[in-house]
Amino acid sequence: MLKPSPVTPDKVKRHNLARVLRYLHEDGELSRSDLVFLTGLNRSTIGALVSDLAEAGLVEEVSGVGGSRGRPSLVVRTNSSRNFVLAFDLGVDRIVAAAVGLGGEVLATIHRPRKDGPYPVKEAIAAILESTDELFTSLPTGATWAGVGIAIPGVVETELGFIRKAPNLGWIDVPFGQMITESFRKQIGVCPKVVLGNDANFGAVAEYVRGAATAASSVVYLTGDVGVGGGVVLGGEVLTGSSGFAGELGHLVVNPAGQPCNCGSRGCWETEVGRDAILSAAGFLPGPDSFPDFLAASIADPAAMKLALAGVGGWVGVGLVNLMNSIDPHYIVLGGHLAEIYPYINEVVIKRIDQSRPNAHTRARISLPSLSLDSPLAGAAEAAFAPLLSDPLHEMDQAFVLI
């Protein structure tokens, strides 16, 4: 039996620093009075905490707009450009990289297309290192590098930084967290904490923290890439499941009479609403340029595309019904290609949901992503910030400064 170590004044202070910094990171600039209100701490404690965070370079106090009694009021805000993380999203046909500042400001992004198909691990690491060099050149000297987050289209053991499988990259059992840490150390001498996660889980977190589902306690995020992935956040926590295989929503069986899936089953959601199914329904052959071509054709003749995609819309609807009947989330956010086709299928989808859930108040709200970054990339940045947000001063002591 282990007892928790006693609560010391130092622990309380660290806890309160973390709370203040998280409010500023998630809510944007706040006055000291706002912070008193939000934390329930008294004014002098807030003053001391803000001073400590400012001294560490994490926040700054500036004149805000619209102070009371005609005076400009001071607001506290994160020192966005001086504290950043790097976020990466390893997609099937591209790597997207971003430098994101504390507070969520996107400081720089890089978009590198690549050919569909298996992706040698070494190439992925090289692409991450090159992107890092490129991102660094656009960041100011003296900025503090607080972490790295990487979104993976597969099953990831986040605590170990271990990728169990990422079929669309062709990866099985890759200790990618360790490999990328060693590569950073070899190449540039240092590496802050690297956090890996499933792309849809990261997407769900991003939508929960600063996206469409900010006001909700439960959200399902669906990625649509080649396949369909899912991330589930319940009460602020990612649902990982007993074996790490929760949210494998692309393999919900929606059409038992449907096409074989490469998972070994048949009629999985991603065989019915994945990219190839959409192209085929719309009369396009699979190919690297087919999806952009299909989107262009949809814009040119939306009515025809609605007709062509009615079947796909029905399968999207069945899957959404099943999520409502099992998890009953507040929001379901459709990401990736599902967001792109939603304008052409929304009527069919809503009709299918009506059939199973006639009462509107029992339905999840269907949303499209509303972030300036792709949700998985934004979630990778949130994951990278998590250690700093949990113990700001300790992590700043360990962070690296650009010279």
Return residues touching a copy of itself (CB under 8 A): 1, 3, 37-38, 40, 216-218, 230, 232, 234, 239-249, 251-257, 263-266, 318, 321-330, 355-358, 361-364
Q: How far is the CB of 329 from a copy of itself (least distance, A)?
A: 6
Nearer to a copy of itself, 211 or 329 (CB): 329
Q: How far is the CB of 358 from a copy of itself (least distance, A)?
A: 6
* Residue that the structure tokens 């010391």 belong to: 8
Full DSSP string of 22-76: HHHHHH--B-HHHHHHHH---HHHHHHHHHHHHHTTSEEEEE-SS-GGGSPPEEE
Q: Which residues touch 333 (CB under 8 Å, ≥6 apart)?
A: 203, 204, 207, 211, 212, 213, 219, 220, 221, 222, 367, 368, 369, 375
Q: How far is the CB of 162 from a copy of itself (least distance, A)?
A: 14
CB–CB of 280/272 below 8 Å? no
Nearer to a copy of itself, 216 or 402 (CB): 216
Nearer to a copy of itself, 11 or 122 (CB): 11
Counting Cβ atoms within 10 Å, is residue 175 exposed (0-12), middle (13-18) or buried (19+)? middle
Give, rounded to a whole angstrom, the gap between the first and last alpha carbons of the chain: 47
Q: How far is the CB of 241 from a copy of itself (least distance, A)?
A: 3
Nearer to a copy of itself, 43 or 186 (CB): 43
Nearer to a copy of itself, 325 or 370 (CB): 325
Q: How far is the CB of 39 from a copy of itself (least distance, A)?
A: 9
Q: Within 13 Å and on the Cβ side, how many CA atoms surround 40?
A: 0
Nearer to a copy of itself, 172 or 190 (CB): 172
d(CA 326, CA 323): 5
The 3-state secondary structure of 232-257, one letter per residue:
EEECCEECCCCCCCCCCHHHCECCCC
Q: How far is the CB of 53 from a copy of itself (least distance, A)?
A: 21
